[in-house]
Amino acid sequence: MSEQKTILITGGAGFIGSHLVQLLVKKYAGYKIVNLDKLTYAGNLENLKEVENYPNYQFVKGDITDVPFLEKFFAQNEFDGIIHLAAESHVDRSITDPMGFIQTNIVGTVNLLNVARKQWTGKSGKRFYHVSTDEVYGTLGETGYFLESTAYDPRSPYSASKASSDHLVRAYYHTYDFPIVISNCSNNYGPYQFPEKLIPLMINNIRHEQPLPVYGDGKYTRDWLWVGDHAEAIDLIFHKGKNGETYNIGGNNEWKNIDLVEQLCDLMDALLDRPKGNSRKLITFVKDRPGHDKRYAIDATKIKDELGWSPKIQALEGLRLTSQWYLENTEWLDHITSGAYQAYYQQQYL
Ligand code: NAD
Ligand code: TYD
């Protein structure tokens, strides 16, 4: 039986959050894991079916932008740690409608900092962990990597909102000696990712033999991190990281978008018993994203040297596992792509 602790996870019904909740609930029987989530379009309790009846798990529906709710919630619950993932997370949506990103990612984060600071003043052994993105560092050219010391240079409303919240979290450390830790990771992929992000969107479209919209020339590069590896890194940093520090987490797995989409086409053709080359014919180059960051790549030396973490799942294996998962979970996929998703997809692509 592990030590007794009560840990609040925000955004635990989302993609990364649901993997983290599952990991912590199963690994630490002595912890009470409280998942606070507003259940926006991106939050889905179906992601948590496996743990919903565990005695050490509790779900609470709530909005981090709602201060009276948060004050009441914190008056009723004493937390030892907070792992904060709740956010608006999709760059394209932040371009169409930035305000929700400002509200949840900036104001919501400060609301949480305030209620936690009030609860934790005069107490030791607490920790507020902010889960952030490498997009705060801006964009790279053909070479180089983001380090923890790289200057912030966010370029989309999404990344600017995450950069802002990182700064505020760090400001609470310096100003109030509030116990924080931050990690900035690269693009995650794997099961339960909402199909507005590149990989599940392409898998879903290949499945339905719909056009595969590749932005611009397709030569934009991302470093893909297997979501399970990320959840393990968060667990490690939460328990072993140092207060006030930042850790970069990367997959060491760079792909140009077009190469990745072609790879997915070939994998899916094989899994669906379609002739090789079938799905590549669906690739359609479309209008570029405004302010599109050219390349992200992480130097994850610090977390490797200091905490002994490195990614376990590499390139092709991760893409195969992901494609297989989506094909085995078409009910989940069909459910999540019904209703509001159709309206979003039509506005974005059609
Ligand atoms: P997601 O969009 O899948 O999930 C976000 C979750 O937050 C959802 O369950 C949603 O309901 C909840 N939420 C949104 N607004 C809320 C509010 N006001 N109050 C309470 N809950 C709210 O996101 P994700 O991909 O799982 O990302 C999780 C975190 O990791 C985010 O902070 C994101 O910025 C960061 N991140 C994600 C990636 C990635 O590749 N997905 C990469 C780097 C960093
Ligand atoms: P995305 O998954 O939205 O993550 P992020 O913008 O946070 O990196 O996009 C990954 C890359 O794929 C990015 O370069 C934009 C590109 N992209 C497309 O080419 N087509 C699409 O339909 C989507 C959603 C993304």
- The pLDDT tens digits for 59-82 are 999 999 999 999 999 999 999 999
Whether the CB of 187 sits within 6 Å of ligand 2: yes
Dump pLDDT digits (tens) for 239-252: 999 999 999 999 99
Q: Is residue 141 part of a domain?
A: yes
Q: What is the pLDDT of residues 310-341, one digit of tens each?
A: 999 988 899 999 999 999 999 999 999 887 88
Q: Looking at the domain assignment, is residue 322 inside a domain?
A: no
Q: Looking at residue 88, which CATH number applies to its domain?
A: 3.40.50.720
Any ligand 2 atom below 6 A from CB of 91: yes
Q: Are 143 and 117 in contact (CB under 8 A)?
A: no
Name which residue leads in pLDDT, 349 or 159: 159
- How far, in Å, CA of 301 to CA of 307, rounded? 10
Tell whether the model's pLDDT for residue 2 goes beyond 70: no
The tens digit of pLDDT for each residue in 121-134 reads 999 999 999 999 99
Residues lining ligand 1, CB < 6 A?
Answer: 10-11, 13-17, 37-40, 42-43, 63-65, 85-89, 104, 108, 131-133, 162, 185, 187-188, 194
Q: Which two tokens stand for residue 173?
A: 């450390």
Q: Is the pLDDT of residue 1 over 80?
A: no
The ligand whose atoms approach the alpha carbon of 133 most closely is 1
Q: Among 71, 72, 103, which Cα is nearest to 87's?
A: 103
Structural domain contains residue 111: yes
**pTM (predicted TM-score):** 0.98
Q: Is 341 domain-assigned?
A: no
Q: Closest ligand 2 atom, CA of 292?
A: 14
Among candidate residues 330, 315, 329, 335, the one with its CA nearest the CA of residue 264: 315
Residue 185 lies in a domain: yes
Cα(274) to centroid(ligand 1), Å: 35
Any atom of ligand 2 within 6 Å of the Cβ of 222 = yes
Number of domains composing the chain: 1
Give the number of the ligand closest to the Cα of residue 211. 2
State the distance from the centre of ligand 2 to the C-alpha of 307, rounded, in angstroms: 30
Q: In what order do the strands lie in the sheet with 254-256?
A: 187-189, 221-226, 254-256
Ligand 1 center from residue 276 Cα (angstroms): 36
pLDDT per residue as tens digits for the range 150-187: 999 999 999 999 999 999 999 999 999 999 999 999 99
Q: Which ligand is nearest to the CA of 109?
A: 1
Region for residue 198 given its phi and psi (left: phi exceeds 0; alpha: psi -120 to 50; beta: otherwise): alpha
Is residue 278 a part of any domain in this protein? Answer: no
In terms of residue numbers, what domain contains 305?
Answer: 5-192+225-252+296-313
Distance between Cα 165 and ligand 1 center (Å): 13
Q: What is the mean pLDDT of residues 9-23?
A: 98
- Computed over every residue of the chain, the mean pLDDT equals 97
Q: Classify residue 285: in a domain, yes or no.
A: no
Does any domain span residue 55? yes
pLDDT of 230 strictly over 60: yes
Q: Ligand 2, closest atom to CA 348?
A: 22
Q: pLDDT above 70 covers what percent of the chain?
A: 99
